[in-house]
Amino acid sequence: MVALSGGVDSSVAAYLLKKQGFHVEGVYIHVWSAEDYLSDCPWQEDIKIAAEAAEVIGIRFRSIHLEDEYKSRVVEYMVEGYSAGVTPNPDVMCNQEIKFGVFLKWAMQEGAEYVATGHYARNELGITDYELRKGLDKNKDQSYFLYTLTQDKLAKILFPIGEYTKPTVRKIAKKALLPNWNRKDSQGICFIGKVELPKFLQNYIKPKKGDIITTDGEKIGEHNGIFYYTIGQRHGLHLGSKTGSEVYYIREKRLKDNVIVVAKGENNPLLYSKKITAINVNWISGEEPEFPLAALAKIRYRQSEEICKIEKIDDKRYRVIFAKPQFAVAPGQSIVFYKKEKCLGGGIMES
């Protein structure tokens, strides 16, 4: 079963599998009812285009309603994270709990042997285990969001477009006469769509004004709620003319006294860290490696991997020491580990 979103990637995934001789079914996952939408996420258009693509490909199409699961496992996770002053990663949780959680389980119960998605990643069977590898298109690689996958799940997952670049995927779609071959890529929170995060969160967390101060303790502005901001953020601070042309970045969020601390200049050493503590770490192989472990890691999606050393602190925590200081370490976000093209796993940054 292929999770058809209405986008070109999942449609081409289904098309390629059909060409390879698989018996394919397309499934649209409902996670957000019409009255719940806080943005202009066009789910009605999405499901219409997904159905049209399925018809062109020549496969059965249906939908599954997972609104309750999405709210309890992704939206509540987001709200709890921001309420606690950290910056959660809903796309990682959406993959873990919805696409490769509830949907995967449902598909197996329906008799499917595999589930497939339009992720730009590769799932390869190595000598002893399944390996999650980067997608061939380095600009679109999505392995960062898939580090929570396990051996049991990888055995049932296919990533048909992982060997293709985005331009090639669009060419395949155009040649196959798929209706969404030139449709724009979706952006924003997984399944919710493009939405201003503060606006979204205000529906769940009440605004609470507080001070914005510099690292020297000088008050230079006010914020509407510490929950709506993240470490490293520079836009949306509304500091006004008092700071002139100087650019400030959020260095710290003091939840107890509702204060945001900012540091001046992108190259300010106060915004960088060489050591990070990670929790909730998943090793994709299913076996913990030997430590210290030399690896590559990145702390945000749009970032190149950096050289690091991983040490085990105790049964729940790991210390990651980078060769170069990393900008704006945001607790709650994901840190993902690599060995060349292979994704080893990852975890949540605690500090």
Catalytic residues: 94, 190
Compute the distance between CA of residue 285 and CA of residue 272 in angstroms, rounded to an integer: 31
Q: Look-up: residue for tokens 């009605």?
A: 44
Question: What's the order of all strands across the beta sheet hosting 2-3?
Answer: 60-65, 25-30, 2-3, 115-116, 157-158
Burial class for 301, CB neighbours closer than 10 Å (0-12, 13-18, 19+) = middle
3-class secondary structure, 312 = strand
Compute the distance between CA of residue 133 and CA of residue 184 in angstroms, rounded to an integer: 25
66, 193 Cβ separation under 8 angstroms: no
Compute the distance between CA of residue 237 and CA of residue 201 in angstroms, rounded to an integer: 16
Can you read off the two tokens belonging to residue 52?
């049209």
Can you read off the two tokens belonging to residue 305?
């991997």
